[in-house]
Amino acid sequence: MNRSTPAKPAGARNVDEITGSRRLRRMRKADWSRRLVQENRLSVDDLIWPIFVIDGKNTREPIAAMPGVFRLTLDLAVKEAERAAKLGIPAIATFPNVEMGLRDQTGSHILDPENVINRATRAIKDAVPEIGIITDAALDPFTSHGHDGILRDGIIVNDETVEQVAAAAVIQAASGADIIAPSDMMDGRIGAIRDALDANGFSDVAIMSYATKFASAFYGPYREAVGTAGLLKGDKKTYYIDHANSDEAVREAEQDVAEGADMLMVKPGLPYLDIIRRLKDEFQMPTFAYQVSGEYSMIKAASANGWIDGEKAMLESLLAFKRAGCDGVLTYFAPQVAEMLRG
């Protein structure tokens, strides 16, 4: 043996002996073989597109913290819904930025059938009846303090909030909403909404429960989008779930299933893939994730700085939701992804 010959330990096995000839790289050797054994795929049918609506006409307001996302007047929201339908996106989720003069301590404007969210639903349904519309009955875009419920003496009062959220859900259903997705995290809201919808002839309107909405740092850009960022007094930890807790999240979901939820949602998404997997395994129900504004903006910012490949990161993050067990994802990337998937 010379110095250039590597030493072979006595009794050393070769790779086939070590692996039992199970060479897992075999099916990774070519594009065709990788595609043949790919376990999860992203399709346009997995996408729900959240959009922000405002009063006015022919106005597209950029949201500084969410590059490429805009607040849209209803005429433009209708055009975007038409675009979504042409791309094959199954549903959109609408969120309002309400004029400050219409906000109050109780979020009472949510009960106005002519508020911007209900008018948006009617306008979109009239123009694009084939697309699904998801609305949120939470109060935060309508309150003067930015909380998801009614504030009394510094406390978010649960039962009074539930009554108002349920009443708002009926008004939203009457305006044409196909799915009510209440994000307020009040106890008993799912059952109250189900009872109210059924009692008013909307038994076909589904409920997508924000079953596990965590107290998270990833909501900041959204709060800018709906105009609550500067309003919020305190935090939302008395009703959102502690991000350290997974068993509590399962209990929340179990309660919502018992009360009549048709679908479950995890929010935020990427930091909570473990929760998605637990819910899917536990309940075998349609399960969705909301890739929230902070997740979106991180990818956009890193891409803008040249630190990551934005398109690849976008697709990788969305496929992670599918791998974790999601049936679909609410994502601001929806139209971009749909365009890419269409080719």
Distance between CA atoms of residues 3 and 7, nearest Å: 9
Q: What are phi and psi of 320, to 5 degrees?
A: -60, -40
> What contacts 320, CB < 8 A, 6 or more positions away?
270, 273
Residue 79 annotated in active site: no
Using an 8 Å Cβ cutoff, are 212 and 266 in contact? yes
Location of structure tokens 């934005």: 310
CA–CA distance from 342 to each of 45, 51, 150, 319, 336 (Å)? Answer: 12, 21, 44, 16, 10
Three-class secondary structure of residue 248 per DSSP: helix
Asked whether the beta carbons of 139 and 167 are under 8 A apart, the reply is: no
Known catalytic membership, residue 267: yes
Report which of 151, 153, 148, 150 is spatially closest to residue 136, judged by C-alpha positions: 148
- Residue of 117, 106, 116, 180 lying closest to 149 (CA atoms): 106
**Which of 79, 125, 233, 267 is flagged as catalytic?**
267
Closest alpha carbon to 175 in 140, 146, 135:
135
258: CB partners within 8 A, 6+ apart: none
Residue 335, token pair as written in the block = 């139209």
Cis peptide before 221 (omega within 30 of 0): no
Assign 95 to helix, strand or coil.
strand
Q: What is the DSSP string of 205-244?
A: -EEEEEEEEB--GGGHHHHHHHT-TTT--S-STTTSBPTT
From 125, 213, 280, 322, the catalytic residue:
213
CA 326 to chain centre: 11
CA–CA separation, 331 vs 337, rounded Å? 10
Which residues are tagged catalytic?
213, 267
